[in-house]
Structure 1
Amino acid sequence: MFKTYIIPVITFSLAIALLPGCNKLVEIDPPLNEMSSERVFKSDNTAKSTLSGLYSLLSQSQAQVIQLTLFPALGSDELELLPASVTYEDVRNNTMQATSSNASGFFNDLYASVYRANSIIEGLQKYTGTSAAVKKQLTGEAKFIRAYCYFYLVNLFGKVPLVLETDVTKTAYLPRTSVDSVYDQIIKDLTDAKDSLPADYSASSGNRTNANKYAATALLARAYLYTGNYTAAESNATEVINATSLYSLIPAASMGTGVFIKNSAEAILQFMPYLNATNSYTAEGATFVTTTSQYSLRTTYVNAFEAGDLRRLKWINEVTLNGVVNYQPYKYKYRTNALAVAAGVTEYPMVLRLAEQYLIRAEARANTDNSTGALADLKVIRNRAGLAESTTTDKAALLLEIEKERQTELFCELGHRWFDLKRTGRSDAVIGAIKTTWNSTDALYPIPQTARDANPNLSQNDGYN
């Protein structure tokens, strides 16, 4: 079982090339002293090492490693908890409280990466020694990571403090910022990143583990979709889809084992494996593909797949454990490094992938009354899954079909289902129908009490004491 932990305060060490982290929003180390900061940014190599530290901090945090997938899946209609666990019952039942470590873990982990990104952006601007080309690239990647973190913060917690600098005298008591303003910053950061980053993966030696232009474009398409700018969502998704020299959907024949592997043609961005860069398995595999029954896709969720859907066949592992049928999410196949190595397969955690871009564009087109274009995008995803194309032209019905395709394509991937139900206003209808513990206010997590104790200007979300 992966356990929640709080990122400790990290002081600078050139040996490991890490910038300051934080354990709570308002309890962080002071900004780097002048001498150590100058040393960090005096050359391209040392500056690049700070970015590696940022990727490591985010990709190895429990929020990113498993909780962004597990908790929203338990909270929505995706996963059931088997057997009952005191640790995660509040997540499954949507009864999380402000004092819960399950809420504070997200808050702490994501803000730790925000502060690290801010440190890099400030250092690159303040100190000389880094070449113009490297400064541009590293700033772009740091802004991408900051936008990525804020995307999840704003979707999990709603209004959050918008921290864009490291000076604690200015950030310690920031109030929460409106959702619209946070999204404005996300879009600004991603637009800057898109203009600054290379279109290939040369910065990561060909591995798809660093954000490039298309990673920024893909997340920008999602941000525009969530904020209702459908024209911009369609445009950005199209840019990614048209980058055919880099990206293509894995064919149906190999989608069971080919989508979630290292440097998959469908991968726009992946992170390094959990714990060790040489590992060949993922935390998702270790969590879901178990020999003891822990989590199962709900029967109602499994029944949403149409007959003949290859995703049901290839991405769900049906096993009976202790007399109980368990529908294991099976996108990642290996629960230990030894099993992955024995199979000769390296799986990397998927962060952004091409299939989502088709679904973003389909939804954007449906919302702008381009049903022909929306159906064409749905056809691509459905045909890969072995299903016939849709012929629906009614706008409301088409949007529900797109939601269903997102449900069956993106299940147990970094909170998509939870966020889809929330942003379309369908949480009450869908989750409320299966959980007597559901309240409308559960669509947002509580602001952690530890953060509110440290910062009296932080208000609480509705529904929490």
Structure 2
Amino acid sequence: MKKYITTVLKNKKTNGNLWFRSLLIFVCCSTFLLSCSDFVEVELPSSQLNADDIFTDISSANAAMASIYAEMRDGSMVSDLSYQMGNYADELDYYGSMASDTEDFNKNTVISSNGTIKSWWNTAYNLIYSANSILERVENSKQLSTSDCNQLKGEALFVRAYLHFYLAQLYGAVPYVTTTNYSENAKVVKIPVDQLYLNVLEDLKVAEGLLGLEYVNPNRTRPNRGVVKALMARIYLYTDQWEAAAQAASYCINNTGTYTWNTNLNTLFLKDNTTTIWQWSPEFEGQNTNEGQAFIFFSVPPGNVALNPELVASFEANDLRLDGWIKGLSDGETTWYYAYKYKEQGGTDVSREYSVIFRLAEQYLIRSEARVQNGDIEGGVSDLNKIRNRAGLSEVGVTDKATLLKLILEERRHEYFTELGHRFFDLKRIEQLDTVLGVKPGWNTTDRILPLPEDELLINPNLEPQNKGY
């Protein structure tokens, strides 16, 4: 099996202070195309990048926005989360023979010089810089229509919020960057996670008002209002705002004209699935997903990772996901299992699968948990059974709050394994990391967040102190 796609097909940028040094734009890209791979790196001067000419028309503005999504797909921390955080938690076992960043994640021995840690930080802040540049360019543009400006501003605000959200999940207190001014960015300070969430939600509320109900392109690869509401629902859940979480999750659930429930597990990750809220297209037509390349293997023992046998054993015997989303290979004595949510490991005549970032099932599980926490047991059970019915499982009939919350957590484990770090972030937010991951030999309580990259601490002393334990 190939190592995760970002370490196989793309050389990541790791130069010091890279996160505020470049603006990536498409140079060979047509309107709304997300699969173009040609970028230029523009050196940032000591003040503000003067790039008003980028947005003299909507095509160039859309190309700049598209480049952000392409970089998020190919080189950002988000594109690595399923693989690396699956190793960091209890979803994946590592079988690689050589020392690597992945082995460090699997053994919970990550240190501040780890290349993945540095790359995630750098790329995230590069992309945030690019989003801020789009916001500034759109604000000054005289050539774009009001509707085009609103769409671009809404998307850029969403991207900025989305990336800061994951930075906080991974590193804890981090800077919230809202400008392209180099002098300001070179000396930014960390803010507490609670304050960062407030900033994220402020950006999302503005984006919600700017983005429309409909998608502006086929296949749901550019955010609309539903994508914003999906992230808001998750953040409200993570911050124990139960009523707000339930209301935000209900937006996509109730928008049945756009999002329709699909009971066929084998088609949930096809590019035209109607339960998908947001997804990323591959670089070229005929390619499929990074996830398919990362997780599917055809020989044993696997060359890199396989599913943790304890995860496989935790499914109920008649759970349809056990057969539809997990496959195994045996050498006659030992069986290794891999995630089979994405069915295509290689290319096809036309791309069949896109990488799904938000899907409707999460909104049901968010609303289920929020309702139970808020005392609406009947509503929470109904939402939970929506997921269980699709998996071929019997309906839950219990009414005890604590028992229901445990069942919801287990359902999230089975529904979202190897997807974007959900398992780790769930255990973290309910303060169960030590209980569940404490059996791993390398686990320490301080592993709940990752170290800040050592180079960044040298470049900007305002980022001190280093996270505890590193």
- TM-score, reference length from structure 2: 0.90
Alignment CA distance shift 1:11-1:139 (3 Å):
closer
CA distance in 1, matches of 2:380, 2:155: 31
The root-mean-square deviation of aligned C-alpha atoms, in Å, is: 2.1
Alignment CA distance shift 1:372-1:84 (3 Å):
farther
Shift of residue 95 of structure 1?
Answer: 1.1
CA distance in 2, matches of 1:233, 1:11: 34
Partner of 1:326: 336
Contact map agreement 1:41 1:124 (CA 8 A) in 2: yes
Contact map agreement 1:295 1:326 (CA 8 A) in 2: no
**3-state SS of 1:268 partner:** strand
Alignment CA distance shift 1:19-1:355 (3 Å):
same
1:161 to 154, 158, 175: 175
1:278 alignment partner AA: E
CA distance in 2, matches of 1:14, 1:306: 47
1:107 to 121, 139, 143: 121
Gapped regions of structure 1 (runs ≥ 5)? none
Shift of residue 400 of structure 1?
Answer: 0.8
Q: Does 1:241 align with 2:257?
A: no
**3-state SS of 2:423 partner:** helix
2:92 alignment partner AA: L
CA distance in 1, matches of 2:314, 2:46: 51
Deviates more, 1:380-389 or 1:322-331: 322-331
**3-state SS of 1:457 partner:** helix
Shift of residue 168 of structure 1?
Answer: 1.1
Partner of 1:370: 376
1:424 to 421, 430, 433: 430
Matches within 5 A, 1:352-363: 352-363=358-369
CA distance in 2, matches of 1:10, 1:212: 27
CA distance in 2, matches of 1:191, 1:12: 26
**3-state SS of 1:210 partner:** coil
Matches within 5 A, 1:3-14: 3=7, 5-6=12-13, 9-10=21-22
Partner of 2:64: 50
Q: Does 1:59 align with 2:68?
A: no
Partner of 2:33: none
Q: Does 1:457 align with 2:465?
A: no
Contact map agreement 1:199 1:213 (CA 8 A) in 2: yes
Contact map agreement 2:276 2:358 (CA 8 A) in 1: yes
Contact map agreement 1:97 1:464 (CA 8 A) in 2: no
CA distance in 2, matches of 1:409, 1:277: 29
Deviates more, 1:408-417 or 1:81-90: 81-90
2:394 to 388, 398, 401: 388
CA distance in 2, matches of 1:152, 1:16: 30
1:279 to 274, 278, 286: 286
Contact map agreement 1:43 1:131 (CA 8 A) in 2: no
CA distance in 2, matches of 1:154, 1:392: 35
Alignment CA distance shift 1:460-1:272 (3 Å):
farther
2:88 to 52, 58, 75: 75
Contact map agreement 1:78 1:301 (CA 8 A) in 2: yes
Gapped regions of structure 2 (runs ≥ 5)? 30-37
**3-state SS of 1:351 partner:** strand
Matches within 5 A, 1:89-238: 89-201=103-215, 203-204=216-217, 206-238=218-250
Alignment CA distance shift 1:14-1:422 (3 Å):
closer
Shift of residue 299 of structure 1?
Answer: 1.2
Identity %, equivalent residues: 34
Partner of 2:442: 437
Contact map agreement 2:86 2:421 (CA 8 A) in 1: yes
CA offsets per residue over residues 312-351 of structure 1, 9 Å max, x none? 11000111258542110110112111xx33xx76010000
Contact map agreement 2:249 2:366 (CA 8 A) in 1: yes
Partner of 2:35: none
CA distance in 1, matches of 2:138, 2:23: 19
1:54 alignment partner AA: I
Shift of residue 226 of structure 1?
Answer: 0.6
Contact map agreement 1:261 1:345 (CA 8 A) in 2: no
Contact map agreement 2:298 2:329 (CA 8 A) in 1: no
Shift of residue 406 of structure 1?
Answer: 0.2
Shift of residue 135 of structure 1?
Answer: 0.5
Shift of residue 280 of structure 1?
Answer: 3.5
Contact map agreement 2:233 2:245 (CA 8 A) in 1: yes
1:300 alignment partner AA: E
Contact map agreement 2:236 2:245 (CA 8 A) in 1: yes
Deviates more, 1:455-464 or 1:296-305: 455-464
Contact map agreement 2:91 2:417 (CA 8 A) in 1: yes
CA distance in 2, matches of 1:49, 1:29: 22
Contact map agreement 2:289 2:355 (CA 8 A) in 1: yes
Deviates more, 1:381-390 or 1:52-61: 52-61
CA offsets per residue over residues 105-155 of structure 1, 9 Å max, x none? 211121111111010011111232211111011000011111111111010
Partner of 1:266: 275
**3-state SS of 2:219 partner:** coil
1:317 to 320, 327, 333: 327
Alignment CA distance shift 1:461-1:240 (3 Å):
farther
**3-state SS of 1:207 partner:** helix
Count how many residue pairs are aligned between Structure 1 and Structure 2.
446
**3-state SS of 1:334 partner:** coil
